[in-house]
Structure 1
Amino acid sequence: MTTTSTNSGKPGGTADTAPRRRGRGGAALASERREHLVRLAADLFAEKGFQATTVRDIAKEAGILSGSLYHHFDSKESIVDEILSGFFEEVMASYRRVVDEGEDPRTTIAGLVRVAFGTLEPHRAAITVMQNDWSYLKGMERFAYLTRSEDEVEAMWVETIRRGQEDGLFRSDIEPKLTYRMIRDTVWVAVRWFRPGGRLDAQGLADHYIKVMFDGINTH
């Protein structure tokens, strides 16, 4: 719900100019530092927006010089690339598993909703970046996978909704693509107010949403 100039074009690939280090200890330390920088940058992107966040901002948050950041990433685009490709890899794999289980359309839609809500906490930054900076990022060649991935996700949902209509489980007077987009946006906008540790966790929130979506709020 990646194509870069230096990767294979599959989700998850990123450009990294970090120098090779000898020994497992050095490699592990470099990996930990890289992951730490990604987490810091993700929080900044979510808070300030990708375009408004500078390499200097990320370096300052990490307590290092801007030049030191380039030992791990060649640009802030490489960092957000890693954040977004990781998100799409995970969510699409989960969506495919739900669809491949071959359950009835209602069960499948419920499963897809649970997957979507389950992304709110671990991928808060990625979802926020997509909401705020989607138009900007998709205009860059290295982020062409965003549109392809979104198209694949949309196709999963739309096909399931149409199958439900054919089976008489869903209303025939709803437009499948519009229905999917309304569900998607309703779920993902929750990232702006959902807080872990609240009255409902992500799955409790998903259960409540499914109840309202399928049963409505009327008493009859």
Structure 2
Amino acid sequence: MAVRRPVRTAARNGTRAGSGGSDRRAELLQIAAGLFAGRGYAQTTVRDIADEAGILSGSLYHHFSSKEQMLHEILQDFLGRLLERFTEIERDAQDPRQVLDQLVQHSFTVIHETPEAVALYQNESGALSGQPGFEYVDQLGRKIEKIWLRALTAGQKSGVFRADVDASLTYRFIRDTVWCTVRWYRPRGRFRHEAVAEQYLRVLYGGLTAP
């Protein structure tokens, strides 16, 4: 299911005085991520990105060789950071439930901090699957999935989680309900991401029926 968010980009007045080239690249990538997420990658042009940044199209090529390079950098950074943090959680947590708690909590933190990158990945990963040059999208996605599955299966083996449910199916339920939150969650909205994560875990573990 495609996930669309309103375009939220950086200010159009250029870089702040004294900021370096790396800051400008990061700003341009944030602008591109917002446009890719809101309009779609194929529908967004280099001119669109340049216009939103308040620069000429040719100036964009001083930082990036192509629109595709920008897409690569956004996705690689998003998936790389996500895998790195999930790996740390799996390594450092004391038990399967703590792993699952922290995986869910960090996912909502990522939605809060980088909603454009999350929405972009949700929108485009299916189309990019199997495309030359984008093999890492599936590869990193599978590594992330295995971390969640190991937590679920370890919890089942230890008796923390129910053994009468399929771990793979449970993972898909959790994955889709967590990440599709980006469709409605607003960083400055009524609910803070910590509260959303807490409520989600409460429903996940306790269900809706009263005890």
Give the TM interval when normalised to the shorter protein. 0.7 to 0.9
- Equivalent positions of 1:16-165 (< 5 A) are 29-165=20-156
2:13 alignment partner in structure 1: none
Identity %: 41
Question: How far apart in 1 are the matches of 2:197 and 2:56?
Answer: 42
CA distance in 1, matches of 2:167, 2:115: 27
Structure 1 match to 2:5 = none
Q: Quick one: distance in 2 between partners of 1:174 and 1:120?
A: 27
CA contact (8 A) 2:80 2:140 kept: no
**Offset of 1:38 from its aligned partner?**
0.9
Any idea what SS the aligned residue of 1:169 has?
coil
Mapped contact 1:154–1:177 kept (Cα < 8 A):
no
- In structure 2, what is the equivalent of residue 11 of structure 1? none
Question: Could you tell me how far apart the structure 2 residues matched to 1:34 and 1:117 are?
Answer: 26
Q: What are the within-5 Å matches in structure 2 for residues 184-199 of structure 1?
A: 184-199=175-190
Does 178-187 or 59-68 show the bigger shift?
Answer: 59-68
How many Å separate the matches in 1 of 2:114 and 2:189? 17
Matched to 1:159, the amino acid is R
Q: 1:182 aligns with which of 173, 183, 198?
A: 173
The answer on whether the counterparts of 1:124 and 1:191 sit within 8 Å (CA) in structure 2 is yes
Q: In the aligned structure 1, how far is the partner of 2:56 from the partner of 2:99?
A: 49
CA–CA distance in 2 between the matches of 1:203 and 1:89? 23
Q: 1:77 to 1:161 in 2, by over 3 A?
A: same
Gaps of 5+ in 1: 1-24
By how many angstroms is 1:197 displaced? 2.4
Counterpart CA distance in 2 for 1:36 and 1:123 is: 13
Q: Alignment partner of 1:141: what SS?
A: coil
Mapped partners of 1:169, 1:113: distance in 2: 17
Output the amino acid matched with 2:154: R
Aligned length: 195
Return the offset for 1:167.
1.0
Structure 2: unaligned runs, 5 residues or longer: 1-16
- CA-to-aligned-CA distance 1:7-38 (integer Å, 9 cap, x gap): xxxxxxxxxxxxxxxxxx99x63222212211
User: Helix, strand or coil: the match of 1:119?
Assistant: helix
1:208 aligns with 2:199: yes
